[in-house]
């Protein structure tokens, strides 16, 4: 590769980079960044609401399951006590 082609690639890259920076810092680009960031924040809020709902449901299910197990254990203890009283008679 000759020196001129290397120089041409360097100059082309520098020019492309300069134009790219101008495009990325333009008002239209900034508007696009704002809209994209706002959409991301809305998505985050939606996901957090869903996570909160799932956590609330999970804690409700856990509390119901604990109540169910306590009632079942009490019922089994009562049945065992009744069975022991009947066996003594």
Report how far residue 62's alpha carbon sits from residue 72's, in angstroms, rounded to the nearest whole number. 15
DSSP state string for 23-86: HHTSHHHHHHHHHHHHHHHHHHHHHHHHHHHHHHHHHHHHHHHHHHHHHHHHHHHHHHHHHHHH
pLDDT given at position 13: 85
pLDDT of residue 89: 64
Pairwise CA distance, residues 43 & 49, whole Å: 10
63: containing domain: 3-88
**16 is written with which tokens?**
């492309």
Domain count, the chain: 1
Give average pLDDT by consecutive 10-residue segment, the chain, 89 residues.
Answer: 82 82 84 95 97 96 97 93 77
Question: Phi first, then psi: what are they for 16, rounded to 5°?
Answer: -60, -40
- What is the structure's pLDDT at 68? 97
The pTM for the full model equals 0.54
DSSP 88: H
């Amino acid at each position: 590769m000759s020196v001129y082609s290397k120089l041409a690639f360097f100059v082309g890259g520098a020019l492309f980079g300069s134009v790219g920076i101008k495009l990325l810092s333009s008002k239209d680009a900034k508007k696009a960044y704002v809209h994209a960031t706002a959409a991301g924040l809305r998505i985050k809020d939606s996901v957090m609401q869903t996570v909160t709902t799932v956590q609330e449901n999970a804690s409700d299910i856990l509390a119901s399951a604990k109540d169910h197990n306590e009632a079942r254990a009490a019922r089994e203890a009562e049945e065992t006590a009744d069975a022991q009283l009947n066996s003594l008679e």
